[in-house]
Every structure is written in C-alpha cells, then in structure tokens.
Amino acid sequence: MSDWGPVFVAVLLFIVLSPGLLFQIPAKSRFVEFGNYQTSGASILVHSIIYFALICISLLVIRVKIHLG
C-alpha cells in the first residue's frame, strides 16, 4: 500500500494557492484581489511561503495519510 496523502495535499494546495487564480496577495492596487488572473514577483513569493508553511503543517504535524488499494 502506498500513501497518497502528501500527493493529494500538495496538488490541492498548489491549485488553491496559485497566485491570481482564486486570490492574489499582495495585489497591484489593493492588498488582496480575487480572481484577477494576474501575478507579480511579490505575490509569487508570498504564495510560495504560504504553500510551504501549509505543506509542512499538514504533512509533518498533522500527518495526513490516505491509503488506496
């Protein structure tokens, strides 16, 4: 049996935290913009830090496990 938890968590967070897809922090004119489909270097940096923090929390602290098969 293989553990699919890290794969599902990483894919889900990657989709949700893509800058400009659902929201963007920091935006060009405001602090947060929703669904603008644009990105900048600062927003990529902020979203990658948030992604790294959530991945570490979910995989190392909570230990998400999904076993298929």
From first to last of the 69 residues of the chain, give the pLDDT tens digit: 688 889 999 999 999 999 888 889 998 888 888 888 888 899 999 999 999 999 999 988 888 888 887
Query: Which residue stretches of 1-69 are H helix?
Result: 5-16, 41-56
- Based on C-alpha coordinates, what's the Rg of the chain? 14
Which of 46-69 are b and which e, b meaning 16 or more Cβ less than 10 Å from the residue's Cβ?
bbeeebeebbeebeeeeeeeeeee
pTM of this structure: 0.82
* Domain layout of the chain by residue ranges: 2-68
Task: For the chain, give the number of residues.
Answer: 69
